[in-house]
Amino acid sequence: MNGKDIKLTLNSDLQYFAQQAIQSQRDKLSAEWGVVIVQDIKTGDIIAMADTNSPDPNDPGKVDAQDRGVRAVTAAYEPGSVEKMITAAALIEEGKSSPLEKFTIPSSYTVNGQTFNDAFAHGTEDRTLAGILGWSMNTGTVMAASASARSSATTG
């Protein structure tokens, strides 16, 4: 009935927190922009979707035109960090790892002649799978997947 029966799935408290968190990180890292999307995986509902540099709806002209859209649904970005989530989810779902499994991660990791590095410099570190995702570590993600493949090959 003319939009009166539409119900948003956004959680206003989580939306506010996500907006503050992504803007703070964008400012801290001097990034061009950032987005956060929080989804209920059981229902598919989007419960928070936040962009940096969001315009004031009462005065959208105060921000650059490029910041007036919703990058979370319109911007193209490298899928690398998204793929890390998919890899970790598959490892957990298949029982090959768990969020708290520990890995000792070197500064670079080579598999089949291809060397992987992270976007930040670090020495050898101990991280859980959850920590690997939290720090968006290429080395740790590849290491966890490789360890899973090796154990499958020797037990299967």
42-84 per-position pLDDT tens digit: 998 999 999 998 888 899 888 888 888 888 888 766 557 778 9
- How far from chain centre, in Å, is Cα 110? 23
Q: Which residues contact 84 (CB under 8 A, 6 or more apart)?
A: 132, 133, 136, 137, 138, 141
Q: Which domain holds residue 93?
A: 80-155
Query: Model's pTM, two decimal places?
Result: 0.53
- Let me know whether 52 and 70 are in one domain: yes
How many domains, the chain? 2
Q: Is 64 part of a structural domain of the chain?
A: yes
Rg (CA), the chain: 19
- Let me know whether 58 and 112 are in one domain: no
Per the annotation, the verdict on 30 as an active-site residue is no
Distance CA 43, CA 41 (A): 6
- Let me know whether 96 and 136 are in one domain: yes
- Let me know whether 88 and 69 are in one domain: no
N residues, the chain: 156
Q: Is 7 part of a structural domain of the chain?
A: no
Q: Which residues contact 156 (CB under 8 A, 6 or more apart)?
A: none
Of 12, 30, 54, 81, which is the active-site residue? 81
pLDDT at residue 64, rounded to an integer: 86
